[in-house]
Amino acid sequence: MKILAIHGSPRTIRSTTRQLTQSVLAGAAEAGADTDLIDLCDLRVTPCTACEGCSFNGVCVYDDDVPTLVQRMKDADGIIFASPVYIDNVSGQMKIFFDRLADIIHYQVLSGKYGCSVASTHTSGGDGIVAYQNHVLNYLGVIAVGGISVATGGDSGAVDAREADARALGKKLADAIKGGFSDPKQEEEITSNREFFRDLVIENKDFRTEDYERWVRMGWIP
């Protein structure tokens, strides 16, 4: 069982978001997962320019680190998104990465996995960013088991105080991968997204044949 955390603070090892995420991963490891954390700021992630090149073959025109990262997500059973709150949103690094996921959202390449989200903030917005990142997981076809956010108020001990909660979240994610986790509301949303994307998959079947056939095999195209 593999769990991959994708972390969007540019402060790397000084990051409170990263520290909180490491505790989530520690809880998952205790429950038997192989864990890994990737700092987005160490990777080359080019902003999407909406050229629609990926629509033709799933391959971005930019030769950077995103395809490797997507492969790592495909190889994982669990995915964690982790970002600090920057002006009431995820960090720029995280948002640029999210924008590069449009094609794998359309074709539901990561469907059936589980995930959760992590955020840290000085004062406000943490829960909203957890909810937003979990919403992106749902777009990907991934069920979110929960999330954790910490408002530090500038106190570095605030993250330490939530270590047990973070570890419990990691265990919950690992347990979901092992035994399943059901959330009818998220399942309904994922099903309705898939119905929305189905027309695109059918329309593009002549040049996205493998994707089309996977959708037929999955029973997503009657």
Ligand X SMILES: Cc1cc2nc3c(=O)[nH]c(=O)nc-3n(C[C@H](O)[C@H](O)[C@H](O)COP(=O)(O)O)c2cc1C
Give the interface with ligand X as residue ranges (CB under 6 A): 9, 11, 15-18, 84-88, 120-125, 152
Name the residue nearer to ligand X (CB basis): 122 or 194: 122
Q: Which is nearer to ligand X, 85 or 177 (CB)?
A: 85
The beta strands (E) that lie in 48-157 are given as 78-84, 114-121, 143-151
Sequence-ordered list of residues with C-beta below 8 angstroms from that of 56, at least 6 positions apart, any chain: 207
CB of 148: closest distance to ligand X in angstroms?
Answer: 13
- In terms of CB distance, is 21 or 186 closer to ligand X? 21
Residue 185, Ramachandran bin (φ over 0: left; ψ between -120 and 50: alpha; else beta): alpha
CB of 129 to ligand X, least distance (A): 9
Q: How many CB atoms lie within 10 A of CB 20?
A: 27
Q: Which is nearer to ligand X, 152 or 193 (CB)?
A: 152
Task: Pick between residue 40 and residue 190 the one whose CB is nearest to ligand X.
Answer: 40
CB of 153 to ligand X, least distance (A): 9
Q: How far is the CB of 130 from ligand X (least distance, A)?
A: 13
Query: Minimum Å distance from CB 157 to ligand X?
Result: 13
Question: Per-residue b/e over 87-122, b at no fewer than 16 CB within 10 Å?
Answer: eeebbbbbbbbbebbbbbbbbbbbbebbbbbbbbbe
